[in-house]
Structure 1
Amino acid sequence: MKFKRRQVEDIHINLTPMIDCLLFILVFLLLSTTFNQMSRMNLTLPDAQGVPPKQYDKKIEVVVDASGHYSVNGQSLSSKETSDLNTAIKQISNERRDLMFVIAADAKAAHQDVIRVMDVAGQLGFVNVNISTKVPTRGY
């Protein structure tokens, strides 16, 4: 007796539905992602509330105006160079590094100009560095 042999068909895996699903997920992710917003931190800066100013017998006050010019204890410097600022602070401090060092910067002064003053103060070894703020007026 001769039996008829069954023909075995080749097994094929159809990948088309899987590729369709992956493309759908990819399109969904691209549409739901925003590329034009930069990462930002929203900061709410604290107010300086009512700390009474202390009186010091001698202090160094560096004022940075809106255009980036420096003034050390009321004497304006001729340039914006770090070396001039360094020399002026050395002359006023008389090698005393324990003096109060106050930075009073204009609100529109560039951040780099304020950092430059802080850097010079750190290089000279001042440890008591403060940034001057304005106490907001109260609406009572």
Structure 2
Amino acid sequence: MNFRPRRTEEPEINLIPFIDVLLVVLIFLMLSTTFSKFTEMQLTLPTADAEQMRNRPKEVIITIAADGRYAVDKTALEDRSVDAIASALAGAAPAGGESIVIISADAAAPHQSVISAMEAARRAGLTQITFATQSAAAGK
């Protein structure tokens, strides 16, 4: 008979294999996840119920065509530079710095053309800028 007390080791949980498995699952999920790309986003731009256009004496309308041509108060501009647009806006502004610039851009107009028109208005000292929209009923 063996009456010596036995040493019993306490069971311990080995966490290293568990962490290894979790890291492998994490890496798998990171590699297999698809991220949405900004070039694949489908945008639906909002429409606005705009009031009927009225002839207001303090307004200057700058029109931007789909190919990037500009017209200030229905007068076509030959030069598309920001300085030329700014001088045309300054000449067409009846109330000076109090005039309101209405940018009426085609839906297919380049974004840079709209930004150039805004920069030209800033250079001309015209700080009140708004955008022309079409009503939701007219767009259908």
TM-score by length of 2: 0.70
Could you tell me whether the CA contact under 8 Å between 2:50 and 2:134 is conserved in 1? no
Cα distance 1:58–1:30, how it changes in 2: closer, same or farther (>3 A)? closer
Q: How far is 1:54 from its partner?
A: 3.8
Q: How far is 1:100 from its partner?
A: 2.4
- Residue in structure 2 matched with residue 10 of structure 1 by the alignment: none
Q: How far is 1:136 from its partner?
A: 3.1
1:31-110 residue pairs with structure 2 within 5 A? 31-35=31-35, 37-39=36-38, 43-93=43-93, 96-110=96-110
- Residue in structure 1 matched with residue 29 of structure 2 by the alignment: 29
Cα distance 1:50–1:129, how it changes in 2: closer, same or farther (>3 A)? closer
**1:88, 1:50 → 2: CA distance?**
26
Could you tell me whether the CA contact under 8 Å between 1:99 and 1:126 is conserved in 2? yes
**Residues 1:124 and 2:124 are matched in the alignment:** yes
Identity in percent: 33
5+ residue gaps, structure 1, are: 1-13
Residue deviations 1:56-80, cap 9 Å, x none? Answer: 1242111111111111111111121
Q: How far is 1:26 from its partner?
A: 3.6
**1:117, 1:54 → 2: CA distance?**
22
**2:89, 2:137 → 1: CA distance?**
33
The residue matched to 1:104 in structure 2 has which SS?
strand
Cα distance 1:31–1:91, how it changes in 2: closer, same or farther (>3 A)? closer
Aligned letter for 1:90? A
Cα RMSD for the two superposed structures: 2.8
**2:25, 2:58 → 1: CA distance?**
68
Aligned letter for 1:83? D
